[in-house]
Structures are given as C-alpha cells and as structure tokens.
Structure 1
C-alpha cells in the first residue's frame, strides 16, 4: 500500500483564522495609528454632516424657508477646518510647542470677553459665546486645545529638568493655569466644558505618573466645585433631580431627556430610515447639537449607534497607541490629553442622551453642529496625525508609499499592486 503523507496542521487552519491573523498583523504596522485617526475622523465627519442635515431640516424649513440652512453652515465650517487639519498634520512638533502659550493667552482673553455685558451671549442657562454681529465664537472650545498644548509643554520641560518627583513643582503653575480657565468657564455657567477641562488636566497628571493621593485630593476638590455649581443654579438642580427621578415631570424637567430616550428606543435595530425620524418635528429640543446622537439612534437604529461608539473606540485606541509609542514627552502628553478630551466629551454627550449621565449640554465631537467646536477638534486631530508620523518606522513607511494618499492607503491594506 502507498503511504498517505501526514497532513500539515498549518494547511488545516480555517480561513477565518488566517483572516484574523492578517487583520491583527495590520495593527503592528508603523502607520496603523495614522490611518486609524484619519479614517475615523473622515467617517465621523461624513456621518455628522449627514445627521446635521437630517436633524435640522424641519426646524430650518420652518424658520428660514430652507431645509439646508444649518447644513450649509456646517459644510462651510468643515471647509475651513479640513485645511487646518491638513496643515496641522504637516507641522513639526516644535511649532505646536511654540503655539501653546499664545493660544492659551488668547483663550483666556476671549473667555474674559464672554463675561463682558453686551459681548457675551447666553443660551440654555450658560454664557458661552461672543457675538460679533452674525458671527458667534465659543472661546471655551479652543481653550481645550490651548490647555492640552500648554500643559503638555510645561510638564515636558519639567520632566526634562527632573522636577516631577515632588508634588509642588508638578502642580505649579499647571494647577493655577488650569484653574483660571476652569474659573472663567464656571463664571459662564458652562458645567460641561468645565468637566472636559478638568479631564484634560487629570489626564496630563496621569501620564506623568502623579501619585494617587494627589488624584484623590483633586477629585475631591472637583466634586466640591461641581456641587457648588449645581446648588447655585436652579436649572442644574432641576437637571440633577430629573436624572435621579426619571419618572418625574415629563413635560418640563425631564422633557428633553425623555424625548431623546424615546427617539433612541423607537429606532429599533436598523432605524426608521435616514431622514424619516419623528423626534425632529418639534419634539426634541437641540436635536442637531447636544442630542444629535438621539437622531442617529432613531434613524439609523442600534446598528448606527454601535457604529458611532465603535468609531470613538477606535479613535481612543489610536490616540493611546500614539501616546504609548512616541518617545518625545511633549508628544506623548499632548496625544494623551487630546484623546482624553475627545473621548470623554463623547462619553458624556452619549451618556446624557441614553440617560446614564445628567444632561450637561456639550456637543458630540465631529458629529454635532457648531463651527466653534468643529474647527479646534479638526486641528487637534491634524496634530494627532503629525504625532503619528513620529512613531517608530512611520516616516520610513510614508516615504516608501506612493505619491498620494490613495496608493498609500491601498498599500497599507495590502491591496496595491506589487
């Protein structure tokens, strides 16, 4: 009899295992972070522009006669922000460090101007905007980027000088600087942005290895400040009591939260269809800004909401991957601070919509309507792209790719011609 050769175990490996191994292998490539940040940013932008049109069309048609009014404005902000993102992705790290102090100073001046009667504009119980005729600016949004850059530069300098071993040099002047920003935002009654600024501050301390007892003290202080902010403003107390008692008054205190939850629940698995939602027909306030995630849930269903969550999860992974792989202290700190800013803001926004967190009134990054939030976010993501190029082997990989972004992306996916 002829002997049958033994079958190689590698030949019996299922196809799905080979595909999984190939997908995991992509994560080890030098340009993984670069393409993950770029890809998630583009997809969230496209989704956001689509949902702004859908969420605002009915109200804008009633008020202006054009269903495309806010869509056109958002497209204009995007047309301004995308070149800023591209430019930031090509800047050297030293440029970001040079911009840190001027941006922080301009943010402080602008936040002071918000509090000047006649210049500041209030809405929803918070004074957040400066009015320049038809143009409105929300200074607290670029202040987030300013705090990231300034805090990262400050701590990187102290790390180089070996001054991070004791808590006093660690906190000075980072704590007073961050505290001034927080105070100015608090005076404008903007609790949501206050929490994001504090998140950036804590993320920077975490990356440099601040002792645990320092976090306990700071978190205790933050809890005290938040409690004071809630107690001094009746509308915040109403939001908190409404969150703690969701079965309470459904027509006043809990109206927005209830309508948002109804919108998400009515979407089912696949949603009612793009543009077919009912909540935007004067049922859900601020559907295109703070509660745009509810419109996503209603029109795109559970699948749409999971896609949004997945995209922010990928963005968080890419940001932390950059922070872990780069060697420059400033780059590591700025990448971690930016990631904490965007991801925590997304979590707070989504948590408010699905009623696991109180309503704070902050937008969903890249998705909600608003140029003051969109442009600094795009610049911050461009900065992340610049940082991703500094990962080990990234510059060499970029140089080895084709002359344009499409050939580079195809090569990274293994689809380009050999």
Structure 2
C-alpha cells in the first residue's frame, strides 16, 4: 500500500483527481479487509479523507462541479452541460432503447460520450432494461469475486482478488452515479464499456488471474 502513495501523488498532479481518489479509497478498504487494527485503520482513513477533501477544495473547477451537481440545469450552458446531456440521453432511451447504433447523444451533443459518459449512450441505445441488466451482471461479478476472495487461503491470492473486485466495483458504480448526477463529475471510466484498449486488457487479465488463483483450490473447497 505504501508503494501506491507516490503513484497517487503523480496521478493527482496530472491532474486526475478522480483516479487518485479511487486508488486511495480502494487501499483503505483493502487494509480493512486484510485485518489491520481497526483504530489504526480509522485514524489513517480519517486523515486520508481529510486530505482528499482539502485537495478537492483547492481547485476552483471542483466547486463548479459541485454546484452543477446540485442544480445542473442552472449551469447547463457551462459546467452542467455534460450532465444535462447525459440525463437527456438516458431519458430518451426509455424502457427498451433506441436500438444499438441509433443513439443521438454521441453525435456531438454529449462531450466524452465514448469515455466517462458512455453509460448515457449505452442507456439511450439499450434502454432501462438493457442498462439494468448490465449493472445486475456487473454486481454479480463483483459479488462472485468477493466470495472467491473469502474462500482462497493464500494471502497474495486473497488480496489480489479482493483488490480486483473492489476497484472494478468502485469504478462501475462511481461512474454510473456520476452520469445519473447522484455525485459530482469525478472522471472515472466505466469498466468494459469506456474507450481504452489498455484498460480493457488490464481488466480482463485481472479477472483471468482471479479465476486462475481460485482454480488452485481443491474441488471440495470451491
């Protein structure tokens, strides 16, 4: 976990505060899972959250994101434009969607439609039914990984599977909450849907390794 401190600082200097916050929160949950003393964990977690809060308040544009989160339509010509267009896309999808490839928001209306806000495009094309099915499948994947982490006995295997489940789960639900305007825009991609070949390969390799570690268990323990 200590190795991730300089990495998180470098990511924050990009600036990519959303990814840095994602890594820090994952580390806190990882330490709790690995059985660190709870009082010590609570103290470092509180300190870390204070640092994250101070860092968030230092940049003026983050105030704009918070303001647009509270009332995006009041800022739809500036910082709230992206969120408003994302919500329009989700609303246009209805229950069953416009059909794959038939969405309109990706045609220049929604900025970053292929990266951080791809969930809006996806919902517009497959509708509430399709997007709910995707989230249900993703939730099942995360739960399955946590069950695998609980069963394996090797400390490294256990920690790797837990880390994979946590970071994928946080990325997914932070991204969806961001697009739905439940939380401010944080710049976290949606695993398996957002554009990025390297990210896709890394995610698939992590899941493959999780299943490889789990397969080492005797059949009676699986």
Q: How does 1:21-60 map to 2 (within 5 A)?
A: none
1:208 partnered with 2:34: yes
Deviation at 1:180, TM superposition (A): 1.6
Please, which of 197, 208, 220 is the counterpart of residue 382 of structure 1?
Answer: 208
- In the other structure, the counterpart of 2:106 is 280
Please, which of 223, 226, 234 is the counterpart of residue 60 of structure 2?
Answer: 234
3-state SS, counterpart of residue 104 of structure 2: coil
CA distance in 2, matches of 1:214, 1:245: 38
| Contact 1:196–1:345 under 8 Å retained in 2 | yes
Please, which of 103, 123, 142 is the counterpart of residue 316 of structure 1?
Answer: 142
| Contact 1:199–1:340 under 8 Å retained in 2 | no
Query: What is the aligned-residue RMSD (CA, Å)?
Result: 1.8
Deviation at 1:261, TM superposition (A): 0.9
CA distance in 1, matches of 2:86, 2:166: 25
Q: How does 1:11-90 map to 2 (within 5 A)?
A: none
| Contact 1:203–1:336 under 8 Å retained in 2 | no
Q: What TM-score results when the alignment is normalised by the length of structure 1?
A: 0.51
Please, which of 180, 183, 193 is the counterpart of residue 354 of structure 1?
Answer: 180
| Contact 1:242–1:253 under 8 Å retained in 2 | yes
CA deviation vs aligned residue, 1:261-306 (integer Å, no higher than 9, x gap):
1111111110111111111121100111101110111111101111
1:181 partnered with 2:7: yes
CA deviation vs aligned residue, 1:82-129 (integer Å, no higher than 9, x gap):
xxxxxxxxxxxxxxxxxxxxxxxxxxxxxxxxxxxxxxxxxxxxxxxx
CA distance in 2, matches of 1:189, 1:218: 24
1:373 partnered with 2:202: no
Deviation at 1:394, TM superposition (A): 7.5
1:293 partnered with 2:119: yes
CA distance in 2, matches of 1:279, 1:215: 44
| Contact 1:322–1:335 under 8 Å retained in 2 | yes
CA distance in 2, matches of 1:307, 1:379: 23
Residues 357, 391 of structure 1: alpha-carbon distance in 2 compared, 3 angstrom cutoff: farther
CA distance in 1, matches of 2:56, 2:162: 29
CA distance in 2, matches of 1:394, 1:179: 40
| Contact 2:72–2:81 under 8 Å retained in 1 | no
Q: Which runs of 5+ in 1 are unaligned?
A: 1-173, 398-418
| Contact 2:73–2:84 under 8 Å retained in 1 | no
CA distance in 2, matches of 1:237, 1:283: 24
CA deviation vs aligned residue, 1:184-228 (integer Å, no higher than 9, x gap):
111221111112211331232122222333333233223222223
CA distance in 2, matches of 1:323, 1:177: 22
Q: How does 1:325-364 map to 2 (within 5 A)?
A: 325-364=151-190
3-state SS, counterpart of residue 248 of structure 1: helix
Residues 359, 200 of structure 1: alpha-carbon distance in 2 compared, 3 angstrom cutoff: same
| Contact 1:200–1:338 under 8 Å retained in 2 | no
Q: What TM-score results when the alignment is normalised by the length of structure 2?
A: 0.93
3-state SS, counterpart of residue 284 of structure 1: coil
- In the other structure, the counterpart of 2:130 is 304
CA deviation vs aligned residue, 1:320-342 (integer Å, no higher than 9, x gap):
11101111111111110111010
Residues 394, 189 of structure 1: alpha-carbon distance in 2 compared, 3 angstrom cutoff: farther
Q: How does 1:123-272 map to 2 (within 5 A)?
A: 174=1, 176-272=2-98
Q: Which runs of 5+ in 2 are unaligned?
A: none
